[in-house]
Structure 1
Amino acid sequence: MHRSFQIQLSTDKTAAVLAHLLDIDEVIGVAFYPGSSHKPPGDALSVQLLNTGSDKVLRTLAECCGDSPYMVSTALTESIIEPNQAEKLENDADEAIWEEIESGMRHQGRVTPNFMLLMGLGGIMATIGLVSESTRQIMPFVAAAIIAPGFEPIAGMALAVVLRRWLVLGRALKSTLVGYSILIAASALTFLLLQFLGEADTSQFAASEEIHHLSHPSPADTLLSICGTLAGAIILSSFRKSVIAGALIAMVIINAAAMIGIGLACGRYDLAAEGLQRFGFDIVLILLSCGLVFWGKQQFFHHRRPVA
């Protein structure tokens, strides 16, 4: 896919921006609509371009407009048909811009009623998986990993550090603390309810094969988690959100958080501590993996910080 920018800017900045846009090789087409922007007042530009030119266009706008008000909306374009530039279009890159990555993480991880409900439901499902027989664990584990939006807030912390976006760091840290606190509490309450209904007991939980894997991960388990966290970071930064479920399933951070809640609820503080250890280990994996991927994207592709 390629990209479309809709730009609204002050009339006195249009000539300079247009001149720079026409010099950018990755810009395929530009349309100019004088006086058509009412908020902010001024002109409007429609720009069709390659993904590889997105950062150049945004740098141009920041440099030419300075403190003058302007607005940019971005969209993916299914296809651009330009016979004279077919080779460029065919070799375009599959990269998201920092603003879109931040926007996506903010949408997925912002502390809202929807976010809190999904984290709580993920904790309930993970708890059901942990106290179920091994043959019945797969479905609740997979569902919990996909439903609970627990990856984006932690990935957002790594992105904020790489780009030195301290406001983003604070927001991501808040989402992580609130989201996982809700998940752990939901797990504890779910276990107590299942115990009351006779569907679960402490010995069954302690003897679970999954608890053993969480407490004592094998090298293969660790490698799977590393692959999942690396894949998640690459997916977030390369417009492959439709396959994010695979990366989330490979990670066990939701299950580890649920293990903390169950251990606290049934008085097995040793198991809660082991769950906390695995939970912390997975957080470190996500931070390191995402930090490595985002740092590489910045060094070798974007070469800029977000405009706003």
Structure 2
Amino acid sequence: MLHLRAICPPEHTVETLELLRTHPGAAHLIVHRGASVSPEGDLIEADVAREAADDIVDALCELGLDRSGGITMESLDTALSDAADAAEEAAPGEGADAVVWQELLGRTGEESRWNATFQAFLAFACLLAAVGVLTDSSVTIVGAMVVGPEFGPLAAIAVGVVLRRWDLVRRAAVALVGGFPVAMAITLLGVLLGSWAGLFDPHAIVNNHQVDFVYQVGPASFVVALLAGAAGMLAMTSAKSAALVGVFISVTTVPAAGYAMVAAVAGRWDRAGFSVLQLLVNLFGIVLAAAIVLILRRRKQRSAALLRPLSRG
């Protein structure tokens, strides 16, 4: 279940209440007359089944509440209520399969911004990857994968392309195109300083075979990227965020960026080039698969919406 709060101008309160009261996927309807100060209006609350949330939000937006008032939603971990159970049973489809598009837009939009936090995580991840390459430690490479924040912008690009939100695509692309070069430059500086201080020898990568998979590009690289992108987007759209950890540790994006810098310092330009190619293959594969998953889920949701009036009739 999701908890919905809508700030509603008084002239639309009756319509909004009627909409929520008659929708089978809504329960626990509450109205606070004049409770909202800015913007002024009534505060309406309801618990809605996840599979009905998209329909309800679209209907509220048609009333103009997103412009003249406000609409917020948050997940409910527990709802002990016969009314809530009835709403979930009456709503078409399964909650785990439902995509709340406005929620997805908000989530990916927030995670796609190129800011100091995003850049710091990406730089730390690339530095960890470089350490893993230099020490021939696959465990450290996995740690770098988990720390890397790049899946957010990649998911945002897929969402933006499917929903034709080009502003979201541009913002996410800026985060990737700007973030990776900066993180790689920081990593290059770190490797140079470490080599100068005698902490490690970059040329040791020639014999560090446990991490060779980072720069070895092949059909399997693209297949893994496709599977990871599909699984990641499925996790985001079905509210199963725990599965994203598995996605993070299956793609060779951040490790490839880190390896490229170590190989460059060691003068192994062939490995550096293949590492950059590995990075690009993984980025493209993730976005492609994520977009395909979204397209399929959107078509399924639209088909269900078309069949709904027929089933009622």
The two structures share one fold, judged by TM-score above 0.5: yes
User: What CA deviation, in whole Å up to 9, does each residue of 1:14-55 have, x standing for no partner?
Assistant: 111222222211112211122211111111100111001111
Q: 1:208 to 1:68 in 2, by over 3 A?
A: closer
116, 119, 123: which is aligned to 2:122?
Answer: 119
Q: 1:232 to 1:129 in 2, by over 3 A?
A: same
User: What CA deviation, in whole Å up to 9, does each residue of 1:104-137 have, x standing for no partner?
Assistant: 233333222221111111011000111113xx33
Letter of the structure 2 residue corresponding to residue 62 of structure 1 = C
Q: Which residue is equivalent to 1:104?
A: 107
Instruction: Note if contact 2:138-2:211 (Cα within 8 Å) is conserved in structure 1.
Output: no
Letter of the structure 1 residue corresponding to residue 289 of structure 2 = S
1:131 aligns to what SS in structure 2? helix
Instruction: Note if contact 1:109-1:175 (Cα within 8 Å) is conserved in structure 2.
Output: yes
Query: What is the rounded CA distance, in whole Å, between the counterparts of 1:255 and 1:31 in structure 2?
Result: 51
Q: 1:72 to 1:231 in 2, by over 3 A?
A: same
Judge which range, 150-159 or 65-74, deviates more.
65-74
Q: Which residue is equivalent to 1:299?
A: 299
Letter of the structure 1 residue corresponding to residue 165 of structure 2 = R
Q: Which residue is equivalent to 1:156?
A: 156
Aligned residues: 300
Q: Which residue is equivalent to 2:74?
A: 75
Q: Which residue is equivalent to 1:201?
A: 201
Query: What is the rounded CA distance, in whole Å, between the counterparts of 1:60 and 1:5 in structure 2?
Result: 13
Cα offset for 1:227? 2.4
Percent identity between matched residues is 19
Q: Which residue is equivalent to 1:11?
A: 10
Query: What is the rounded CA distance, in whole Å, between the counterparts of 1:67 and 1:160 in structure 2?
Result: 20
User: What is the alpha-carbon root mean square deviation over aligned residues?
Assistant: 2.4
Cα offset for 1:148? 1.8
Q: Which residue is equivalent to 2:280?
A: 280
2:135 aligns to what SS in structure 1? coil
Letter of the structure 1 residue corresponding to residue 274 of structure 2 = E
Q: 1:58 to 1:174 in 2, by over 3 A?
A: same
Pairing 1:151-190 to 2, within 5 Å after superposition: 151-190=151-190
Letter of the structure 2 residue corresponding to residue 50 of structure 1 = A
- So what's the TM-score if we normalise by structure 1? 0.88
Q: Is residue 2:167 matched to residue 1:137?
A: no
1:19 aligns to what SS in structure 2? helix
Query: What is the rounded CA distance, in whole Å, between the counterparts of 2:125 and 2:286 in structure 1?
Result: 19
Pairing 1:205-224 to 2, within 5 Å after superposition: 205-210=205-210, 212-217=212-217, 222-224=222-224
